[in-house]
Amino acid sequence: MDYNGVLVGLGNPGSRYEGTRHNYGFAVVDALVDFAQRHGVAESLNGGKFSCELWRIRLKELDGVWLAAKPQTFMNLSGQSVQPLLAWHKLRPADLVVAHDELDIPAGEMRFKLGGGNAGHNGLKSITELLGTPDFYRLRLGIGRPPHKGDVTNWVLGRAQGDDAEHMLQAVPAALDTLFAFADKGLDGALRAARKTAQPRKKAAPEAAQAPDRAE
């Protein structure tokens, strides 16, 4: 069967990591599967040979048939799932969209791009190494950075709280809109859709007027 593309959401398997910031990519795949079950077809496939959970998605919003996958290799070995998945189905890196958490984007915002560096993300690093190219699409899901420059590992493996959690939850439908825009209008369409998630920045408070010097 010919596929129009494949969405791979990154995360870590097992209940210990459910709902963590690092599993944001899993949440987007889950949302796509749920949407397809209600509005199209989401057929569960045997992803064992690719070490992933795997679905065949048929949706008019995707203008054809896609694969959706959640690697079960642990994050830093994601390429060991993605590379054989693409090779078996005769898909190119240019057919791949990887949904992943991104520290350098505020929680609940997202960006979309083709290629580029890995910014310290071990899942992207593994995929790049195994595919032999960085030239695949990335749906970058913002989780923000620790407020006090704390331990990044504990941050990404922790669960968002308060406003961050709400913003991230609300952004999941926008992630699907971005994917649908990509399927319909390519990179430019995805870029425009992703930019809609940008939140207004709070203006810095004006500095207090400086008191006049005291006479000595």
Residues belonging to the active site: 22
CA distance 107 to 156: 12
76 annotated as belonging to a binding site for a ligand: yes
User: 55 pairs with which residues across the strands?
Assistant: 44, 68
Residue 157 falls in which region: left (phi positive, over 0), alpha (psi -120 to 50) or beta: alpha
74 annotated as belonging to a binding site for a ligand: yes
CA distance 121 to 142: 13
Q: What number of other Cβ atoms are within 10 A of residue 29's Cβ?
A: 24
Class of residue 151 by CB neighbours under 10 A (exposed 0-12, middle 13-18, buried 19+)? exposed
35 annotated as belonging to a binding site for a ligand: no
17 annotated as belonging to a binding site for a ligand: yes
User: 160 pairs with which residues across the strands?
Assistant: none
Tokens representing 99 are: 């949904």
Q: Where are the strands (E) in the chain, listed by range?
A: 5-9, 41-45, 52-59, 64-71, 96-102, 110-114, 137-142
CA distance 25 to 146: 19
Annotated binding-site residues read: 17, 74, 76, 122
Annotated binding-site residues for tRNA read: 17, 74, 76, 122
